[in-house]
Amino acid sequence: MSGTLAGLRVIDAATNIAGPWAGSILADLGAEVIKVEPLKGDMMRAYPPFVDGVQTQYAAVNHDKRYLALDLREERGRAVLHRCLGGCDVLIQNLRPGHEAKLGLDAAACHAANPRLVHASIAAFHPADGDRPGYDLLVQGESGLMDQTGEPDMPPSRVGAAAIDYASGLWLALGILAELQGERERATVRVSMLDVAGGLLNEKVSAFLATGVAPRRLGSRTATTTPHGAFPTADGHIVIGAATDHAFARLAEVLGPPLDEERFADQAGRLENRDELEAAVAAGLAGRGTEHWLAVLGEAGVPVGRVADLASMTARHRAASRTGFRAVEGVDGLEVMAPAFSFGEREWGPLPPPGEVGADSAAVLADLGLGAAEIAALREQGLIR
């Protein structure tokens, strides 16, 4: 759709979700992104589910790339990578501290090959944490995010998506775009997933540092306003965000007593009597279904929405958005979410399917200056696929 970054060449040597997602964002903006994988491929290629042999999550975070399989465990393979970097603008990697240098992906080695390269890396933790493996789940746990997620009387819960992976990829892409505007002299961008997760708790962290009082898990509710959360209806759930006195007054007009009592007249009173108030709201909603309350509360000016499952969410998104999904060509039924930004009236088009491991190895290396005989020798030596 957009050629904003046309002419930019990116090596994406990252695995799993966070780093590849940053590369996909740049690809969506027009950059040429070269996915560098081990000879066996990114481990994500093996995870189910599959559609016509294509792994769905791999397609979601590795779309619109070129595919180079290169053995970086061998010194000759690392030498090939460093030659390639001379013709590139950005390198993305997510190896653990201490492992970067083993595969030639550390900043010093990459900048020796190309001082104007933007070296971009994602790590789960900080260098002081040592050589620890890290995944979204571990970061959710260690960041305090899980402690703040779930019902008060239940164990801590993981957020129902790889939220830290995707947020980290977004931050890395933002940092890369910023560095591309600068001097680009041995530039580095580093993102810690632990820091990203902490940033998602920004207002809670600030409140804790100021007061010393740790907030408790409240499920879908918030500590500062009520009623503000999910409530059951006769056939499902809705979310109500009556965070202001005005919105609450509209809710009270619809549901009636006891919401009109003086003790609920302002936010302080509503918080002091939270349990009774929320029980009264739940009781008032129990007799009618979700569609009724969406219509009635919406008409009254109460902030309200449904708690949708993926089936209803995707159906609504498809009906409401011109650009919500991008079909993967040649793979029946496989679509990925389009970027959340849009540019005027232009639409996101379909995507080519992800290539097989090493599908573009010869073409990529030729574009980066290697000759046909050299490429053939690398293949014969088992350094590329």
Catalytic residues: 165
- In the sheet that holds 118-123, the strands lie side by side as 66-69, 32-37, 9-12, 90-93, 118-123, 188-192
Tell me the sheet residues that pair with 75: none
Residue with tokens 């189910």: 48
* Cβ count within 10 A of residue 43: 12
Query: C-alpha distances in angstroms, 213 versus 37, 199, 228?
Result: 46, 18, 21
- Do residues 91 and 180 lie in contact, with contact meaning Cβ atoms separated by under 8 Å? no
**Using CA atoms, how far apart are residues 214 and 112, in angstroms rounded to an integer?**
47
Q: How many CA atoms lie within 13 A of 13 on its CB side?
A: 27
Distance CA 81, CA 110 (A): 9
DSSP assignment letter at 328 = B
Q: Where do we find the tokens 């990459």?
A: 110
Structure tokens belonging to residue 74: 């061998």
Map 255-293 to HEC letters: HCCCCCCHHHCCHHHHHHCHHHHHHHHHHHHCCCCHHHH
Cβ neighbours of 177 (radius 10 Å): 18
Count of all residues that appear for the chain in the document: 385
Pairing of strands 237-241, 228-232: antiparallel
Neighbouring-strand partners of residue 79: none
Tokens 């801590």 belong to which residue? 156
d(CA 377, CA 121): 31
Provide the CA 13 distance to its chain's centre, in angstroms. Answer: 18
